[in-house]
């Protein structure tokens, strides 16, 4: 899956659904039943397992949202890592619950993995995958177009956000550099760099005369120059440290 729904609300709903599913698994399948565990204890075990699953998935939801907003991307590697992280977290916390004075479980760490966690993983993982795929379809469609307006009525440029490379000061105008297909194009608009920065807060200032779209950053050419898509720009000392943190 190459997309992620970062909504905490949607993932908490997945967590609730997952906890109900694991309650059913623990209560009806009873993966470590030796005939001595009472009905009340199985209720306690099932509630404990399902509550831990909800908490573990909640931790995953918070962590993946932080990663997604920091990197602005998601891929199959992150998705597989998320599933492994959840199962590891669930394994550790359910084992602690199993070994607690409440249950006094007899399995060691790896026997618990083999007899219980692998069974629950086989049941829970397809459910999680399908639920996460469905959650992506709940993301509202976004219009990625931006409209840059100048002081004159004819000073207007409508482009996709991802196509905007940078904006540079040019006396009483700003020069906008953008990609049209694979070609680098520019447009002069009567405006100020400050106004452009206020209107589009995703732009990053690297020089008193230049703003860049950080998604087009390619590399540092040297300590004073960076390479963007089809263009190079100077970086002033005042903004270098901030740019290094992006």
Residues paired with residue 232 on neighbouring β-strands, in sequence order: 227
Q: Residue ranges of the domains in the chain?
A: 8-137, 145-244
Average pLDDT over residues 140-167: 87
What percentage of the chain exceeds 70 in pLDDT? 95
Greatest mean pLDDT among 25-39, 44-58, 96-110, 142-156 lies in 44-58
pLDDT recorded at residue 224: 92
CATH superfamily of 145-244: LytTr DNA-binding domain (2.40.50.1020)
pTM of the model: 0.60
Write out pLDDT tens, residues 30-80. Answer: 776 666 677 888 899 899 999 999 999 999 999 999 998 777 778 899 999
Nearest to 148 by CA among 112, 197, 89: 197
Higher pLDDT, 89 or 27: 89
pLDDT recorded at residue 33: 66
For residue 1, pLDDT over 80 is answered with no
pLDDT recorded at residue 242: 84
Provide the angle, in degrees to the nearest 10, between the axes of the packed helices 76-99 and 118-137.
140
pLDDT recorded at residue 35: 66
Q: Residue 230, Cα to own-chain centre: how many angstroms? A: 28
CA distance 220 to 232: 9
Phi-psi region of 112 (alpha: psi -120 to 50; beta: other; left: phi over 0): alpha
User: Across all residues in the chain, what is the average pLDDT?
Assistant: 90
């Amino acid at each position: 899956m190459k997309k992620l729904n970062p909504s905490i609300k949607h993932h908490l709903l997945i967590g609730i659904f997952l906890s109900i599913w694991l309650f059913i698994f623990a209560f009806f399948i009873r993966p470590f039943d030796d005939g001595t565990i009472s009905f009340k204890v199985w209720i306690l075990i099932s509630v404990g397992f399902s509550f831990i699953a909800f908490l573990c998935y909640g931790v995953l939801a918070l962590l993946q949202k932080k990663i997604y907003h920091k990197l602005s991307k998601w891929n199959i590697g992150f998705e597989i890592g998320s599933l492994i992280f959840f199962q590891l977290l669930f394994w550790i916390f359910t084992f602690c619950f199993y070994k607690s004075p409440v249950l006094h479980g007899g399995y060691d760490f790896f026997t618990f993995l083999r007899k219980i966690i692998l069974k629950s993983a086989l049941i829970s993982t397809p459910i999680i995958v399908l639920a996460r795929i469905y959650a992506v379809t709940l993301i509202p469609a976004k219009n990625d177009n931006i409209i840059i307006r100048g002081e004159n009525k004819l000073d207007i440029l409508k482009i996709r956000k991802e196509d905007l490379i940078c904006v540079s000061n040019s006396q009483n105008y700003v020069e906008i550099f953008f990609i049209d297909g694979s070609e680098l194009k520019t447009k002069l608009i009567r405006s100020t760099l400050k106004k452009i920065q206020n209107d589009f807060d995703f732009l990053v200032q690297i020089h008193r005369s230049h703003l860049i779209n950080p998604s087009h950053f390619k590399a540092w050419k040297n300590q004073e120059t960076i390479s963007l898509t089809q263009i190079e720009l100077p970086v002033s000392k005042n903004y270098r440290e901030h740019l290094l943190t992006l």
